Structure 1
Amino acid sequence: MLARKPDGKLQPRLIPSDKDPNAFHITHPKNSLEGNVAVASEGRGFHFVFPVEPHGDKPYLNGLKPGDASRTALGLFERNTAHHNREYGLRIDDYMDKDGNVKEMMSGYNPRTDSTNSTSPLVLTQLTCFTGYGNGITNAHVRAGELSLSQFRVAKSKSGIVMLRGVRTERYEQKIEDSVILGEREDATVDEDDSDTERRVGLLFTGPVTLKNIYFDDFYKSNVYNSGAIGFAGKNSEAVTQNRMEEGISFGFSDPEQGNRMLKPDTDNDRGGNDVESFRDNGQVTHSSSPTTVLRSTSFHVTDQCYTRENWGPYAICNEDYAMMGISNIVNVKRVSHTDTVVTLDSEGDPVPKNTPFNVVLNRFHYHYVFSFGKDDFDFSRALKLRTSDKKQVIYFDQNLKL
């Protein structure tokens, strides 16, 4: 299917979305799409848009009530292809207001077991066997809660796959597996357009996300723009842990000689969540012989078991396991090594605001942490929030501990 916009004069626009026509413009989530091809639309190939209230001449016939659409599970989405659409191949991130205007949702698509109840459990969204290539902005962009992408094949776009976190007040997982993600540069000697400086990335995510059996290639070095196979989404204000790179992650190029496995971030877009972003790697991304953690290279995070790569920017590769911590009180935090070397969370040694997230090393033989509070009767055990990189790992604290 190919879609073209009306000129607004001899061909009047019938609905607001006509100004950026999509090949498939889906406003009811229960539609099933299987084996379709969306080509060269002036908007998006497959665009799921969730109305805040039912639309149409007889809205009561679609079975949805106001607010239901973004909480209703999708029908089948399998074996679909989108290529050379001007903007996106697949996009799930927008809502439609009561006047029919499409706007970015920001909170994402979060289907529930009961679409009328925003507190009922999340439902897994499964997208399978999608092929996208040559789309102008991104081949596949999805902001959701529980999410599974499998057997995706994407290539030749500024962004291959963008997986963003939906609702922020709940814990859930996202995963991508059995997929191929290719960039634009098949060879480092290919001529470049000097005017196109926008970054290129294969997989961009917020998390928590798990990768398994993914092949990356064609992210060769460029003298014009920043590129990388894997990257963290910028402007992330939420602290997220439990990102995991599991078995079957492979690359068709060498790092750093030919290209970058990690996208060097634009730190001007950093928010609080970016300061503590990390993933646990089984060794295939970092080309290590043992599991490692990749996280921001700050003095409080790194140890003598860490090293950096210039082409990865502000990331360190550490032969350590970490947990993420936060404390619901203003606190001064110090990390003390077995050689009595002290590093403070705040670079000036000042207290940090309450609920400031930070990463701590899980090595009780080499490091311990000292927390200083401004009041004597503070209950540390109740204020502590701790998340490990392994959800099965349990760390115990004395419930009577007071500092």
Structure 2
Amino acid sequence: GQGQYVQNASIHNTYSRCVTVHGTNNLRIENNVTFDTVGHCFFLEDAVETGNQFVHNLGILTKCHPDGKPCVPTNLGPAGSVATSQPGVSGQSAKDILIPSDNTASTFWITNPDNIYRDNVAAGSEAIGFWFALPEKPTGAHEGKNPNVFPRRTAVREFSGNTAHSNFDGFMFDRGPKADGTFSVGGSNYHLAFANPADPNSPMKGSVFANFTSYKNRHGGVWGRGELHLFPNLHVADNAVGFTHAASAVGRTAYTSRITDGIFVGESANIGTPTTKAEIAYGRSMPNDIADFPIRGYEYYDMRHDVVNTSFVNFQPNGTRNAAAISYLMYTSFGMSSENAIEGAKFVNSRPVDFPQVVRKWSSDFGRGNAWRGAAIHDKDGSVGGVPDSYIVIDNGIANDDQACQLRPDWHAAVCKGDYGHFNIAGNFGFGSEAIADPVMLSRNGRRYEYTGQTTIRSGAEVRVETGKKDLSLSLNEMDDGSWVIFELPGFSAAGGGVQQASLAALLEAKVTSYFPDKGKLWVKLVVDNAAGQTVMIGRPGAGVSTVGPGPGGAFAAGAGLTVTR
């Protein structure tokens, strides 16, 4: 394709696609306008296509069907939303589409990241604007024929100056197709790039999504999945959720995603075109079909993320719906890091943080909310909560401490000093909402809390642990060397490791992991030593395991650990 081009074309009212690039490299697609088209529009077919340049194209009104029939999309979002609660994956098996993902049509469908996307606009897709849908290996006519092509291990060549607006999701980097073309909304599209994609032991590479603008999308401005994803000068506005990003290879990279010099706007001066009864009463178009859905700018999710020098404007609660500049993916049950960080934040007419009370219709999964309960934000410079080197945690009585925290009831949170990490009990507590056999109850400061997977903990905390289980494997992770937590365990008598102390006073003074049996109970002090190389199994072993590292479930590094028995 070198020297060949599709340029200055007007493509409209098609029955399928706009520009298909199939088994072709180095083609230039520039200054084209598409309108009222069906299925994925600018389309990379088999994931072997590289070096192609998509420059200054405008795609308007990408539809799933030519007869005006609505999409039957496969989406992830709040359970109470018609757009995400009803279709499930049924649309992927429909008879009136070319490939399963056409019922979730995108204006730019990208199956290999080794291409150039510069200054394009995706406007008014019924489903997705830009979709990086990376298969594990090439598909279609090239399936099994290109042993050294690994889209999920390949860095993005260039993605700069692009804009997505008036879609359901503006930007999607997830949900890569399987060999049969079907896809799932979670646990897929793991992306970690290497200098040599065929060699996962070669140096890792980052991918840059520069100067991206995403506004007036009914669900998300940006949803990503991968590692070392950098978003400089990101601009998002008037979305239900501005930015959410999932992990691919836990613990292998310095960060999963990083935003620098961004701006998030909750509600701009552009009121849109109110059409529904709720919108007309509200006086502007609403991003979500649930009128009271709490809009959020940035959602932390799935391990380690950074936000640097970023402004948040007009995230203000009102009588119709809640709002906050920063939160977590609401009630999520998947992995979190206590080192999710922010610095250089600015807020204009905005509530900085909110961890709203659980409302089932706003949730995107019906698990136990393990990660939500362990949510923490490291406020490095105090630009969020006013306290430098502090942690913003959910006010659940276990994470916060009256002596070290400032309670923020309007945030449902506390701003705390000290070293924070996660407390874990090994084992699978189940994903669903059914009752846990032999539940584990934590209590501290007069408040009681059921443990369901993990919780944030502060060094120096003392926690009572009650359960009918015969044994427990306790551990701490993401904490500094020398940090410690004391546990009181009624009914337990022995420990498989650590140093036995002669008294409770000696235990309190211990500098290493220790225990002390005392009149029908066991006292344990876990002291962090990260060089010891301990691990803890969190969640379902193998759950979400990617091709480049452990996913949300699996073995994680632990700074301290001990098994106790009755």
Please indicate the TM-score interval, normalised by the length of the shorter structure. 0.7 to 0.9
Residues of 2 paired with 1:273 and 1:374: CA distance?
30
Q: Tell me which residue corresponds to 2:295.
A: 200
> Structure 1 residue 349: deviation in Å?
11
Gaps of 5+ in 1: 254-258, 388-396
Instruction: Indicate the SS of the match to 2:134.
Output: strand
In the alignment, which residue of structure 2 is the partner of 1:103?
Answer: 184
Is 1:275 matched up with 2:373?
Answer: yes
* 2:94 pairs with 1:94: no
Query: Could you say what the CA RMSD is over the residues aligned between the two structures, in angstroms?
Result: 4.2
Query: What CA deviation, in whole Å up to 9, does each residue of 1:73-119 have, x standing for no partner?
Result: 2221111011111x111110111122222332425432232434556
Report how far residue 370 of structure 1 moved: 5.3
Change (3 A) 1:186 1:278: farther
Tell me what 1:295 maps to: 393
Aligned residue for 1:274, secondary structure, equals helix
User: Helix, strand or coil for the counterpart of 2:410?
Assistant: helix
Q: Pick which of 221-230 and 163-172 moved more.
A: 163-172
**2:247 is aligned with 1:165:** yes
SS of 1:219's equivalent in the other structure is coil
Identify the match of residue 353 of structure 2 among 254, 262, 268.
Answer: 262
Q: Does 1:311 align with 2:430?
A: no
Cα distance change of structure 1 residues 154 and 334 upon mapping to structure 2, 3 Å threshold? closer
Q: Provide the residue aligned with 1:285 in structure 2.
A: 384
Report the TM-score, using the length of structure 1 for normalisation. Answer: 0.77
Q: CA 1:146–1:200 in 2, change beyond 3 Å: closer, same or farther?
A: same
CA contact (8 A) 1:33 1:76 kept: yes
Question: Does the aligned pair in 1 maintain the 2:222–2:243 contact within 8 Å?
Answer: yes
Partner of 2:346: 250
Count the aligned residue pairs: 374
Letter in 2 for 1:262: V
Q: What is the CA distance between 1:220 and its match in structure 2? A: 1.6
Matched-pair contact (CA < 8 Å) for 2:441–2:466 = no
Write the distance in 2 (CA, Å) between the matches of 1:107 and 1:51.
9
Could you tell me how far apart the structure 1 residues matched to 2:411 and 2:145 are?
53
Establish whether residue 378 from structure 1 lines up as the match of residue 477 from structure 2.
no
Which of the numbers 465, 478, 482 marks the counterpart of 1:346? 465
- The answer as to whether partners of 1:326 and 1:384 remain within 8 angstroms in 2 is no
Contact 1:94 1:102 in 2 (8 A): yes
Of the three residues 153, 160, 185, the one matched with 1:78 is 160
What is the 5 A alignment of 1:6-25? Answer: 6-7=65-66, 13-25=97-109
For 2:106 and 2:560, locate their aligned partners in 1 and report how far apart those are by CA, in whole Å: 57
Query: CA 1:344 to 1:123, structure 2 compared with 1: closer, same or farther past 3 Å?
Result: same
Query: d(CA) in 1 for partners of 2:306 and 2:290?
Result: 35
Measured against aligned partners, the alpha-carbon deviations of 1:294-338 in whole angstroms (never above 9, x if no partner) come to 11223333221212222212x211133324455769x999999xx
Distance in 1 (CA, whole Å) between partners of 2:469 and 2:377 is 28
Aligned 8 A contact 1:107 1:168 in 2 = no
Supply the distance in 2 between the matched residues of 1:56 and 1:223 (Cα, whole angstroms): 51
Instruction: Give the distance between the partners of 1:271 and 1:49, measured in 2 at CA.
Output: 27
Cα contact 1:325–1:359 (8 A) shared by 2: no
Letter in 1 for 2:155: A
Counterpart amino acid of residue 120 in structure 2: N
CA distance in 2, matches of 1:352, 1:358: 20
Q: Tell me, what secondary structure is at the counterpart of 2:161?
A: strand
Percentage of identical aligned residues: 21
Partners in 1 of 2:291 and 2:466 — Cα distance?
A: 38
The residue matched to 1:50 in structure 2 has which SS? coil
Contact kept in structure 2, 1:323 and 1:386, CA below 8 Å? no
Mean CA deviation greater in 318-327 or 211-220:
318-327
> How has the CA–CA distance of structure 1 residues 76 and 152 changed in structure 2, closer, same or farther, with 3 Å as cutoff?
same
The code of the aligned residue for 2:355 comes to K
Residue in structure 2 matching 1:214, options 298, 310, 315: 310
1:235 maps onto 2:332 in alignment: yes
Q: Which residue number corresponds to residue 131 of structure 1?
A: 213
Distance in structure 1 (CA, Å) of the matches to 2:494 and 2:332: 34
Rate the CA distance shift 1:63–1:131 in 2: closer, same or farther, 3 A: farther
Relative to the length of structure 2, the TM-score reads 0.57
Structure 2 residues not aligned, in runs of 5+:
1-58, 70-94, 271-280, 428-439, 446-459, 500-511, 514-525, 531-558
CA 1:239 to 1:220, structure 2 compared with 1: closer, same or farther past 3 Å?
closer
What amino acid does structure 2 have at the position aligned with 1:228?
A
2:486 aligned partner, one-letter code = Y
Q: Describe the superposition over 1:1-21 as per-residue Cα deviations: whole angstroms up to 9, x where unpaired.
A: 122233379996333333232
Contact 1:185 1:220 in 2 (8 A): no
Distance 1:368 1:55 in 2: 51
The separation in 2 between residues aligned to 1:239 and 1:134, in whole angstroms, is 28
What is the SS of the residue equivalent to 1:346? Answer: strand
